[in-house]
Amino acid sequence: MLDPIKIIVPCGSLGAGVYEEEVRRGLEMGAHAIATDAGSTDSGAAYLALGVSKNNRASVKRDLAILMKAGAEAGIPVIVGTSGQAGGDKNLDWTRDIALEIAAELGLKPKIALLYSEQDKASLKARNAAGAVKPLAPLGPLDDATIDACDHIVAVLGAEPYVAALEAGADLILGGRTTDTAVLSSFALLKGAPWGPAWHAAKIAECGSQCAVYRTKGAGVLISIDAEGFEVEPLSLENRCDPHSVSAHMLYENANPFLLTEPGGVLDVTAARYAALDARRVRVTGSAWDEKPYTLKLEGAGAGGFQTIMLIGIQDPEVLSRLNEFHDKMLAAMNHRVHTTIGEAAGDFNISLRIYGWNAVSGERLPEGTPAPREVGVMFVATAATQEMATQIAKACNAWFFHFPIVEDDELPSYGFAFTPADIERGAVHEFKLNHVIEIDDPMALVRTVWIDLKKKEAA
């Protein structure tokens, strides 16, 4: 009979705010490991394309310091996946440097495993040519031009590289891009937990206390995995889990509520049952793992044009009463203006006007007669092949954007300028360009493990 394997998941994502007292409580409850992811694709492709983190460095350092200290005191491993938001090599190196800084400041000597999952273009092209890369809807087959258009490409790792690093004695693992679930399940898999409950527990805990009743009370949960199932409870005493809060988390950020495809298999929770153990804890049984041929998802990101923006505020009631007309007339006038002033040199450009307070989020046409707001903000977004051209387009439109009259021949109005200079270069538009899986025989084939053993370093 397997003794329950207890894992602290201290937050939804490293840098989001770990509570020291929650981690301490998890240790008192007998936790065997601490695991968290440190990013996702959620906030867009820029973080992978640029190799930068979305998070403030001090926030990540603060959270990681709490975890490294707790791990060292209790003698248990700290496992972090998708380092630096996107999990590319640069994102991982950024996180590594923070960890080394913490270790030096706190006098800690962890054995650190770095799991790099960035892929070089030449070998990826070779694997693609050999037929190992398959598209996922809605994209089609991968071509070399798409690979070349990416600034960085990562393989989304599964649990095996983490299991291998733990077996080799890692105190701290900083992973490249990895599924959230693989990061959280790896320790339990190493200890022989059944795969269904281990992966399901990991999915439930991926956002920390989001699977609890109150999403804002505390940040972490403890998962406890045994031979038959798993239990989950929040680390904050003010919070609680109930069967609804836990089962509903399977819906979150997941296109299919019953099946979750992972490297090497599919988690199937169709038959899972959720029961309250007491006022705070939920027990889950019936989770199944369906083994499949081993595949890793690929993520690639690169630039797709450059943007320059401008912003105004409008309170003029005449404009507000005719916003749809205003939008259409202004957009037509500005496109015309670019054609007549810059001409063909503008290349393949795009101007979009987003009326905040009206329909900026949806871009949908609101019905005639929709009551006007008291004021709106209008954002001008020019996209072009180069930053210089995007800015030239903005400058060509400047006078029209800031003074465009709703009634022709009226005195030219001045709308509410927010800034000067008015045009703001916002850099490249970054897009994800891959949605493919790569078939591999060996789960370790696309990962490079680098060790930094601070104990040895000191001895040397």
Partner 1 sequence: MTTVKDVCRHVRSKNAGPYWVTFDLFFDGPESFQKHHANPALGPQLFQRLFGADPALVRHYPVADLNVVKISYARASPQGGVVERDMHCGQQFVRLLDVQLD
Q: Rule CB under 8 A: is residue 91 a binding residue for partner 1?
A: no
User: Please, what is the minimum distance in Å from the beta carbon of residue 105 to partner 1?
Assistant: 35
Choose the stretch contacting partner 1; rule: CB under 8 A; options: 119-127, 182-190, 350-358, 370-378. 350-358
Q: Rule CB under 8 A: is residue 304 a binding residue for partner 1?
A: yes
User: Please, what is the minimum distance in Å from the beta carbon of residue 46 to partner 1?
Assistant: 7
Choose the stretch contacting partner 1; rule: CB under 8 A; options: 19-27, 186-194, 332-340, 430-438. 430-438
Q: Rule CB under 8 A: is residue 216 a binding residue for partner 1?
A: no
Q: Rule CB under 8 A: is residue 435 a binding residue for partner 1?
A: yes
Choose the stretch contacting partner 1; rule: CB under 8 A; options: 99-107, 326-334, 348-356, 402-410. 348-356
Site string for partner 1, 385-424 (x = CB under 8 A): ----------------------------------------
Site string for partner 1, 219-258 (x = CB under 8 A): -------------------------x--xx--xxxxxxxx
**Of 391, 399, 405, residue with least CA distance to 342:** 391
User: Please, what is the minimum distance in Å from the beta carbon of residue 109 to partner 1?
Assistant: 38
Q: Rule CB under 8 A: is residue 123 a binding residue for partner 1?
A: no
Site string for partner 1, 132-151 (x = CB under 8 A): ----xxxx------------
Residue ranges in 352-381 that form contacts with partner 1 under rule CB under 8 A: 352, 354, 360-364
User: Please, what is the minimum distance in Å from the beta carbon of residue 431 to partner 1?
Assistant: 5
> Which of 285, 341, 350, 449 is close enough to bind partner 1 by CB under 8 A?
350
User: Please, what is the minimum distance in Å from the beta carbon of residue 232 to partner 1?
Assistant: 17
Residue ranges in 34-63 that form contacts with partner 1 under rule CB under 8 A: 41-46
Q: Rule CB under 8 A: is residue 340 a binding residue for partner 1?
A: no
Binding site for partner 1 (CB under 8 A): 41-46, 136-139, 244, 247-248, 251-258, 299, 304-305, 307, 350, 352, 354, 360-364, 383, 429-432, 435
